[in-house]
Copies of this chain bind each other. A is one copy, B any other.
Amino acid sequence: MNASSTVEEKFDVLVRRQQFLNQDGKQAIKEILRTKKKAKIFWGTAPTGKPHIGYLVPLAKIVDFLRAGLDVTVLYADIYSFLINYLHPQPRELVEHRRRYYHLLVTAILQSLGVQTSRIHFVQESSYAYTKSFVSDFSRCCSLMTQQDTPDTMDEEGRTKTLSPLLCCVHQYLADIHLDTDIQFGGEDQRPIFQHASKIIPQLGYRKRQYLMNAMAPGLKGGKMSSSDPASAKIEFLDDARTVTDKIMEIPIGESHGGYSTDNAVLGILRTILIPLSELRLEHHKDEFANDAFVSADAPEGTLFTIEVAIWCFGECVRKHYKSYDEIEEDFRCWRMGEEDLKLAVARSLNCVLEPVRRRLGSSEEWKELELLAYP
């Protein structure tokens, strides 16, 4: 992808694996690419619990945004984190420690994906949320919303009786405007809030924004992987290689219709995290990436994933090379591959992805200090 790439080429890279709010969104995003020299996109994260490997999904997607020539902002929603109020009773200092913790980690992940982080704007919500124009929009937005809008749009906030979480979605709507971006990018779980934002923003008198949504990494015990989950239901970047392998090996694999079920977190991690990363590696920056992460040295060109499959009747293993996720799922579902074979391959690949991140952070004094401050 380069300066001479067509709008269609950029569009294809920008939106692959993404969902839209509706068909109009597709057209609108093409129009943005056609008319703007450098469209602006942002991804926001609230510094709350320790980040898990689900963050690899949006962060890998940022590589695509940069390739498509977009101006990319990572937003640390620090005021949002305070309002969501997990952090009482010493919240503001803690939020700031966690914001710094997230930043070190996000930076290390992006670097391990071959991203020059100098190309990205890192912004804190608190850098614009104390302006008169923000506060004024905040009041206006609240006057256009019902008290039920927040519980309707956000799971977490439907479970609390505290007042402040009701205000979180207002902060999310206004990020579009006060970062002055064209596209907001988040997970599928954000669909209701993006839908509401796309209704509210024109009522506030601003131009419509567009929304892209990635698939969610699965939690080890079902649902999406979430920072609020207990450590046993998620894989954290901090987990050492052995812990990662143990967690993967313990994921329950169901059976259905005379084969393995495909509804499990092992395949989910493969589909949402590992295969997209392997595609990136193939297309884009093979050399900067851990080469043996996904594919063995003897694999043919175009291989996305290699799995050592035990052939029991012969008492030996064969190496199988796959060019797509679907081929793996098919082999697995039809018992042409053992549960342990798949799990070991996924655990090994995931560890290869996490290793450079752990290495970068392990040598950082700031990181060690922040681990104690942010998660005492």
Is A145 positioned at the interface, with any CB of B under 8 Å from its CB?
yes
- Shortest distance from the beta carbon of A294 to any chain B beta carbon, whole Å: 44
Contact in complex: A142, B161 (CB < 8 Å): no
Q: Which one of B91, B135, B164 contacts A129 once the chains associate, using CB atoms below 8 Å? A: B135
A296 located at the interface, meaning its Cβ lies under 8 Å from any Cβ of chain B in the complex: no
A146 to B143, CA, bound (A): 19
Q: Within A136-188, which residues are at the interface with B (CB < 8 Å)?
A: 136, 139-140, 142-143, 145-150, 161-164, 166-167, 170
Give the residue name and chain of the B residue nearest to A170 (CB).
B163
Least CB distance, A160 to chain B, in whole angstroms: 8
A91 engages B166 (CB within 8 Å): no
Contact A162–B147 (Cβ < 8 Å):
yes
Identity of the chain B residue whose Cβ is nearest the Cβ of A84 in the assembled complex? B143
Q: Among residues 292 to 322 in chain A, which have CB atoms less than 8 Å away from a CB atom of chain B?
A: none
Complex CA distance for A161 and B150, rounded to whole angstroms: 12
Does A88 count as interface, using CB distance less than 8 angstroms?
Answer: yes
- Report chain B residues within 8 Å CB of A88: 143
A147 to B136 CA separation, bound complex (whole angstroms)? 22
Task: Select from chain B the residue with minimum beta-carbon distance to A142.
Answer: B164
Name the B residues within 8 Å of A36 (CB-CB).
none
User: Is A85 in the interface zone, CB < 8 Å from B?
Assistant: yes
Contact (A146, B130) CB under 8 Å given A139-B79, A139-B83: no
Closest B residue by C-beta to A160: B147
Given A130-B136, A135-B130, A166-B166, answer yes or no on A161-B143 (Cβ-Cβ < 8 Å): no
B143 adjacent to A91 (CB under 8 Å): yes
Check A242 for interface membership: any CB of B closer than 8 A.
no
CA of A33 to CA of B161 in the docked complex: distance in angstroms? Answer: 40
Q: Are B143 and A164 in contact (CB under 8 A)?
A: yes
Q: What 6 A-B pairs have minimum CB-CB distances, sorted nearest first?
A: A142-B164, A130-B132, A143-B164, A145-B163, A142-B163, A85-B143
Please determine whether A139 and B164 come into contact, CB atoms closer than 8 angstroms. Answer: yes
Instruction: For the complex, give the distance between the alpha carbons of A222 and B146 in Å.
Output: 31
A55 on interface, CB distance cutoff 8 Å: no
